[in-house]
Amino acid sequence: MMPIMRLAAPLIVACALFSLLLSGTANAATHPIRDPVLTKNKLYGTGELEPSECRERHIKRKHVPSAKRYITSVLNCLNASWQAHFERAGLRFAKARVGFITKPRRFCGHSWDKNVAAMYCDTDRRFLVLLDDEMLANPGDLFLFKVVAHEYGHHVQQVTGMARAFQRYPYKGKSELNEQIRRSELQAECLAGAFMGSVWDSLDRTKGEWEDLLDVTLVSGDEWAKARDHGKGRNIAAWLKRGFQAASPDACNTWTAPSSKVA
């Protein structure tokens, strides 16, 4: 299960997880990953996501029904885009589902932390989004779009076998575990960027709005939290941007990146 966290700064996002999961070389990592399901997954050779349309629906401030419609439409775009991509590559695919809550509750066997904004569950192939006043205070920016795309990144990890490989991968001590978690979270961020890059021309968004999202991401890292399992803001933003520019999962192999790129 992989929740996306809200931290103590305006519109800050980071992503913790309850499972174990840029280019570089494995021997440059403090804790190198050797499982080929993670480091040499077939997903990396599937090329760019085909450009597609994803028309955003209007969303009202602190209005749950319009937020549900907005998120559902974004999920439909994600399912259509990734399904077409997997089918072209001859890979098996399953759609993700979404649910909504307005108050924290248990999900996927875990309590909902007060700072969690969204959470993916591998066994359900579903994620929940917490639609409270904090989440919907400024819904017109790209934050909510990226939340949905990030959770879908965890779904991509699930259907490619990476999530399970990550969950079973051994570690020695908290430092190694945290690095593995960061690799998983940063990969989901990169996959979110790849999707956003593939549909960008249809979003009717400005360059300034994209830069605003990057600025928010820069201050959403472990610098703002006690945990060290999400990555520094500059690395989160770098992986998001990397995926966006490439519009391809090939850019998102965090498992072979040097430790400095997933710190």
Per-residue pLDDT of the chain (263 residues; tens, 9 = 90+): 545 544 333 223 334 333 333 333 334 568 999 999 999 999 999 999 999 999 999 999 999 999 999 999 999 999 999 999 999 999 999 999 999 999 999 999 999 987 788 999 999 999 999 999 999 999 999 999 999 999 999 999 999 999 999 999 999 999 999 999 999 999 999 999 999 999 999 999 999 999 999 999 999 888 888 788 889 999 999 999 999 999 999 999 999 999 999 99
Q: Token digits for 182?
A: 């960061």
Burial 191-223 (b: 16+ CB within 10 A, else e): bbbbbbbbbbeebebeeeebebbbebbbbbbbb
Output helix, strand, coil percentages for the chain, rounded to the nearest 5: 50, 10, 40
CB 95 within 8 A of CB 124: no
Which residue range(s) make up the domain with 33? 2-262
Provide the CA 62 distance to its chain's centre, in angstroms: 24
pTM assigned to the model? 0.90
What's the total number of domains in the chain?
Answer: 1
Q: Closest Cα partner for 7 from 226, 199, 245? A: 226
All residues at 6 or more sequence positions from 235 whose CB lies less than 8 Å from its CB, including other chains? 182, 186, 221, 261, 262, 263
Amino acid at 26: A
